Amino acid sequence: MKKLIILLACLATMASCSAPKQESMEELTERVMQTAEQQYKYLYSQLEDGAIPQSLLPNGDLKTTNIYNWISGFFAGTSWYIHEYTGSEEMKKIALEYTALQEPVKHVTDNHDVGFMLYCSYGNALRLTGDESFKEPLCTGARSLATRFNPNVGVTQSWSPMPQHDWVFPVIIDNMMNLELLMWAGKEMNDQSLIDMAISHADTTIKNHFRDDFSTFHVVDYDPETGAVRHRATKQGFADDSAWARGQSWGLYGYTMMFRESGEERYLAQAEGMADMLIERLPEDGIPYWDYDSPKIPDEYRDSSAGAIMASALIELSQYVDSQKSKLYLATAEKQLRELASENYLAAIGTEHGFLIKHGVGNIPANSEIDTPLTYGDYYFLEALMRWREL
């Protein structure tokens, strides 16, 4: 009997010694960032002058766009994150080149995505270099964005009228992300009106976009004269009453950011409510299906971009809540980051035309960018890793 006990103890010891040691988050970040540097140098080498990488076409070719697409600032922003971590001067040169390319965007007044386009590029440039010349495009861009604010409605208009949907003043949950530019510029220029616009937009969105369970519609259409809600819809999701995954992540991120920038407790409560709801609905590996209510689950596409945005938001949100929730949010974000850094999602060097994470979903109803890398997925994935590094 004694010999049997000794034998079992030895076998247990051998098993524990032979089990692979889990990669630390520091090791994971180093591996991902080294991969990102090589991938983004490869991606850059394929670009013609003025072309900005967006995704891949259905045939596998590189899909590019111009500076006036809403995604145009992410390539510069991702390059800044890679430079920040690795110290690569080549990546800094690329980041500077593609940041400067964005300058004309500061005059854009026909859409709400100036925040994405400028804050990811010029915002990171300012943060990392301290060069105050980067402030002017951000301040001018904020003024341009402010022209879309309608005081009757209390929000900035996202899209132009869409007669095919009978929408006259459509506002999308994504627009929460562009409030960061208004908040920053309002403080920088001591212009309370910009801050008031952002606060009004966030408050009106809480009132009209959200369901009782903290899930959000994608689109709310308003009467621009009275501010009354005309329609609620979900253009890029499965159905109007479904929870489109990336939209949920935009909302979570947006209200976490608004609490940071304003200190208003109602935004923290909104972010916590969304986080708790989403965590309960995540699949085991932490990467959302493209729509939480798709009837095809589990035989459905995942959206790596929604997972990356959510992870980044949860890491920040974990710093504002009690210890029990903080642990839950960080554990969820870590699970998501480990999965995105696995071979299931992380592109091998020299593949995917240089993009970093696979299996993103752009817009299934429009049959666009399905199960493919997305430039904003890469951006928020690296942002999340950099935020984890600061914990």
SS3 90: helix
49 is catalytic: no
Give me the residues paired with residue 155 across strands.
150
Cα–Cα nearest to 75, from 387, 385, 375, 380? 375
| Residue 381 structure tokens | 């994935």
Give me the residues paired with residue 289 across strands.
302
321 DSSP 8-state letter: S
User: Quick check: bond before 137 cis, omega within 30?
Assistant: no
113 is catalytic: yes
Q: Which of 49, 174, 203, 241 is catalytic?
A: 174
Contact 367, 237 (CB under 8 A): no
Rounded CA gap, 311 and 52, in Å? Answer: 25
Give me the residues paired with residue 361 across strands.
370
Q: Which of 49, 61, 110, 113 is catalytic?
A: 113
Length of the chain: 391
Rounded CA gap, 286 and 281, in Å? Answer: 9
**Dihedral of the CA atoms 209, 199, 312, 283 (nearest 10)?**
-20
Q: Which residues are catalytic?
A: 113, 174
